């Protein structure tokens, strides 16, 4: 295969002169109308000349026109809309809850990438940014809006939440940017996007940048952009000259080993899997094989996702396993290889995944692992993307695999500990105020030269938190007076009698003496409380026995036939002296007369009810 990068690197002197002439003809940022502080801030970052999409779009945005920009990933669209927005809002101050500029993006990673690129530049002009995305503190976002933020970078879902709470008012928006509008349409965000644009100030400037102009994107253009100026830099499916594509035909049983060998290569590598579970499984397999790899997908917390990208950018690990959440808006320098462990669903996803490498003129390689049943669909997808990807049948340790990808056999020694360092914990006693004495260790009074422990209430003097200076069990003095005046006559557990002021168990009521089991003879004033009717049909058959003079002596659980009942219900007293089970009658046979009403049949399980 021809080395595309080598052919590109070899150029004639005539071509070098032509490239120099084009570079001299390209206007600088100052010629595009950007303010001097912004141009100086760009120069400090090493950005001295604009990309084609930037040189084409910035003058029209500065003039106040609605702009429709189309360009493939990595073409520099962020600065194409970000720089003129900063220039037009220079020196402005936002009112509380009323931002002046809004940038809508489909994913949190893209939002953070936009802020990373634009916030240092906006700081030179005195403009404040705030990221409004999910899985982050809504309170901090609301607090920032109350103080006033000039430019919001938001995902549609979280911004709508703030709008419903009244924390964000879009009536003062002067500029609204839709970045990656086609991806927002694919993710189903168009209803939220239209609701947000309907709340924005009518007549404001609208900028829409997208890699493709699908039917759904065209609806937004027709509805919200007024006579837009269109800038398209090359077709979206135009191949990058410095990017090589290969289809690796592998056997199912060797896919895991080949994946580990490619991941163990030198240089930064991104591996794309289709599902979240596939990402977690693949990252675990690689770490078990001795490859430092970390996973990234939408199911992880935003803090962990942010730290993962930061550690990958800093070089803590060189292998990132991700879903399509990393296919857009993530820019990490020196990514030399992108591998599709699972082929993407369509050609647009393929191009966006591949766009993570060969950015800004760098060289990159894109390989796709293809199983036998995926050959036809994957070949058709690459044709739709306009990619010429030769097929290579490879095995583990194959020379062709090493030559194309730089694969190396992993060590096989599992990686110990987490690849992403844990967030440091707060030290005890710092941060938020604790429950006792402003956080930290409990404090106790000191008396007599020693610190008393919690719960040390006996013996000695002082030290008790409620200032009780005497011994609770010794009859000492209390700070509020002698407790004997209120009836405490000594040790609570002692044998002495209590004082008159202390109410005993047997004198809580003056209702008479109790029996030998502790029950009073009469509940209130003595005597029987009156007849109680049995039910509506037998109101004349009352319970007229005294519950306190005799006991119910029948055994409920002994066998035998049920004895006939008397005319007046149960006449025995349940609290009498006779023991239970003394009678030889049935289960409910009392020692005296029994209930003589209509008897229930044996198959009638309804329980008798006393009214």
The contacts of residue 7 (CB under 8 Å, 6+ apart) are: none
pLDDT reading at 335 higher than 60: yes
Please indicate whether residue 345 or residue 281 has the higher confidence score (pLDDT).
281
Q: Among 13-17, 186-190, 367-371, which stretch is predicted with the lowest mean pLDDT? A: 13-17
pLDDT reading at 577 higher than 60: no
Six token digits for residue 254: 């060797």
Q: Which residues pair with 321 in a beta bridge?
A: 271, 295
Distance CA 476, CA 460 (A): 11
Distance CA 413, CA 433 (A): 45
- The rounded mean pLDDT for the chain is 75
Q: Report the pLDDT averaged over residues 166-172.
A: 96
Burial 556-583 (b: 16+ CB within 10 A, else e): eeeeeeebebbebbbbbbebbeeeeeeb
Give the model's confidence band at 596: pLDDT under 50 very low, under 70 low, under 90 confident, else very high: low
pLDDT reading at 230 higher than 70: yes
Q: Among 144-153, 197-206, 521-530, which stretch is predicted with the lowest mean pLDDT? A: 521-530
Six token digits for residue 473: 């069990």
Asked whether the beta carbons of 373 and 252 are under 8 A apart, the reply is: no
Give the model's confidence band at 217: pLDDT under 50 very low, under 70 low, under 90 confident, else very high: confident
| Phi, psi torsion values for 366, nearest 5 degrees | -125, 120
Task: Compute and round to an integer the Cα radius of gyration of the chain.
Answer: 42
How does pLDDT run across 457-471, given as a tens digit for each residue? 444 444 444 444 444
What does DSSP say about strands 450-451 and 446-447: parallel, antiparallel, or unpaired?
Answer: antiparallel
What is the predicted pLDDT for the residue at 25? Answer: 56
The contacts of residue 60 (CB under 8 Å, 6+ apart) are: 67, 229, 231
Sign, CA torsion 315/317/318/320: negative
What is the predicted pLDDT for the residue at 529? Answer: 54
H helices present in 406-529, as ranges: none
The contacts of residue 281 (CB under 8 Å, 6+ apart) are: none
CATH topology of domain 30-233: Rossmann fold (3.40.50)
The most distant pair of C-alpha atoms in the chain lies apart, rounded to whole Å, by 130
Delimiting residues of CATH 3.40.50.300 domain(s) in the chain: 30-233, 243-405
pLDDT reading at 268 higher than 50: yes
How does pLDDT run across 468-479, given as a tens digit for each residue? 444 444 444 444
Please indicate whether residue 331 or residue 147 has the higher confidence score (pLDDT).
147
Sign, CA torsion 276/282/285/291: negative
Six token digits for residue 96: 């509380």
For tokens 């402005």, the residue is 92
177: three-class secondary structure by DSSP: strand
Asked whether the beta carbons of 30 and 190 are under 8 A apart, the reply is: no
| Phi, psi torsion values for 129, nearest 5 degrees | -110, 155
Six token digits for residue 416: 């110990």
What is the predicted pLDDT for the residue at 346? Answer: 86
Please indicate whether residue 9 or residue 577 has the higher confidence score (pLDDT).
577
Six token digits for residue 428: 């005890």
For tokens 């937004």, the residue is 220
What is the predicted pLDDT for the residue at 237? Answer: 54
Q: Report the pLDDT averaged over residues 380-395.
A: 92
How does pLDDT run across 20-32, given as a tens digit for each residue? 334 445 688 999 9
Q: In what order do the strands lie in the sheet with 364-370?
A: 293-296, 319-322, 268-272, 335-340, 364-370, 243-249, 391-393
How does pLDDT run across 402-461, given as a tens digit for each residue? 999 999 999 999 998 888 876 655 554 444 444 444 444 444 444 444 444 444 444 444
Q: C-alpha angle with apex 28: 25 to 33, nearest 5 degrees?
A: 120
What is the predicted pLDDT for the residue at 391? Answer: 95
Please indicate whether residue 98 or residue 601 has the higher confidence score (pLDDT).
98
DSSP at 337: E
What is the predicted pLDDT for the residue at 327? Answer: 75
What is the predicted pLDDT for the residue at 270? Answer: 95
Give the model's confidence band at 257: pLDDT under 50 very low, under 70 low, under 90 confident, else very high: very high
For tokens 């071509």, the residue is 15
| Element holding 61 (H helix, E strand) | helix 52-62
What pTM value is reported for the model? Answer: 0.58
Asked whether the beta carbons of 442 and 284 are under 8 A apart, the reply is: no
The contacts of residue 132 (CB under 8 Å, 6+ apart) are: 111, 141, 152, 153, 154, 155, 158, 159, 162, 168
| Element holding 295 (H helix, E strand) | strand 293-296
Asked whether the beta carbons of 385 and 353 are under 8 A apart, the reply is: no
Give me the percent of the chain exceeding a pLDDT of 90: 44
H helices present in 264-333, as ranges: 276-289, 302-314
Six token digits for residue 129: 């940014």
Sign, CA torsion 35/39/40/44: positive
What is the predicted pLDDT for the residue at 435? Answer: 41
Six token digits for residue 48: 């001295």
Please indicate whether residue 20 or residue 526 has the higher confidence score (pLDDT).
526
What is the predicted pLDDT for the residue at 385? Answer: 86
Q: Report the pLDDT averaged over residues 337-365.
A: 86
From residue 165, alpha-carbon distances to 168, 275, 367 in Å are: 8, 34, 47
**Candidates 3.40.50.300, 2.60.120.10, 3.40.50.800, 1.10.10.60; CATH matching 243-405:** 3.40.50.300
DSSP at 280: H
């Amino acid at each position: 295969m021809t080395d595309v990068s080598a052919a590109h690197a070899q150029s004639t002197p005539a071509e070098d002169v032509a490239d120099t002439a084009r570079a001299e003809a390209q206007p600088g940022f100052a010629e595009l109308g950007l303010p001097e502080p912004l141009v100086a801030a760009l120069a400090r970052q090493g950005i001295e000349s604009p990309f084609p999409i930037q040189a084409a779009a910035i003058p029209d945005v500065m003039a106040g026109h609605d702009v429709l920009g189309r360009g493939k990933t990595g073409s520099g669209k962020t600065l194409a809309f970000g720089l003129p927005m900063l220039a037009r809002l220079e020196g402005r101050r936002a009112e509380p809850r009323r931002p002046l500029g809004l940038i809508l993006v489909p994913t949190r990673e893209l939002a953070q990438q936009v802020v990373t690129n634009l916030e240092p530049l906006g700081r030179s002009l005195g403009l404040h940014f705030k990221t409004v995305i999910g899985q982050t503190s809504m309170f901090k976002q609301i607090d920032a809006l109350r103080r006033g933020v000039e430019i919001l970078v938001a995902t549609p879902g979280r911004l709508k939440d703030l709008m419903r709470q009244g924390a964000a008012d879009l009536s003062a928006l002067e500029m609204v940017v839709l970045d990656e509008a086609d991806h927002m349409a694919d993710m189903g965000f168009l209803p939220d996007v239209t609701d947000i644009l309907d709340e924005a100030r009518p007549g404001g400037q609208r900028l829409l940048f997208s890699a493709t102009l699908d039917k759904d994107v065209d609806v937004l253009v027709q509805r919200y952009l007024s006579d837009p100026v269109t800038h398209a830099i090359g077709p979206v499916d135009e191949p990058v000259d410095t990017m090589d594509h290969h289809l690796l035909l592998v056997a199912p049983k060797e896919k895991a080993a080949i994946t580990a060998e490619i991941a163990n290569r030198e240089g930064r590598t991104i591996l794309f899997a289709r599902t979240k579970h596939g990402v977690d499984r693949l990252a675990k397999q690689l770490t078990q094989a001795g490859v430092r790899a970390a996973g990234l997908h939408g199911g992880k917390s935003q803090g962990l996702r942010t730290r993962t990208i930061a550690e990958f950018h800093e070089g803590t690990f060189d292998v990132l396993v991700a879903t399509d959440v990393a296919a857009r808006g993530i820019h990490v320098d020196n990514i030399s290889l992108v591998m599709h462990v699972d082929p993407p669903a369509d050609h647009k996803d393929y191009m966006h995944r591949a766009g993570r490498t060969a950015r800004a003129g760098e060289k990159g390689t894109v390989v796709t692992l293809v199983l036998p049943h995926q050959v036809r669909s994957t070949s058709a997808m690459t044709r739709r993307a306009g990619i010429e990807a030769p097929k290579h049948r490879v095995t583990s340790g194959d020379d062709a695999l090493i030559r194309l990808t730089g694969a190396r056999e992993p060590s096989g020694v599992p990686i110990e500990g987490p690849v992403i360092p844990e967030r440091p914990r707060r030290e005890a006693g710092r941060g938020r105020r604790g429950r006792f004495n402003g956080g930290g260790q409990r404090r106790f009074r000191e008396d007599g030269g020693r610190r008393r422990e919690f719960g040390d209430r006996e013996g000695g003097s002082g030290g008790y938190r409620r200032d009780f200076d005497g011994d609770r069990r010794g009859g000492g003095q209390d700070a509020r007076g002698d407790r004997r005046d209120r009836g405490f006559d000594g040790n609570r557990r002692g044998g002495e009698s209590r004082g008159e002021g202390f109410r005993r168990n047997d004198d809580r009521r003056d209702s008479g003496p109790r029996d030998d089991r502790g029950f009073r003879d009469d509940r209130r004033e003595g005597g029987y409380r009156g007849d109680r009717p049995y039910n509506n049909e037998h109101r004349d058959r009352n319970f007229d026995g005294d519950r306190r003079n005799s006991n119910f002596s029948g055994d409920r659980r002994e066998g035998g036939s049920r004895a006939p009942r008397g005319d007046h219900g149960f006449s025995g007293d349940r609290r009498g002296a006779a023991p239970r089970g003394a009678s030889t009658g049935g289960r409910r046979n009392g020692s005296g007369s029994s209930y003589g009403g209509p008897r229930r049949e044996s198959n009638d399980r309804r329980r008798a009810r006393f009214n």
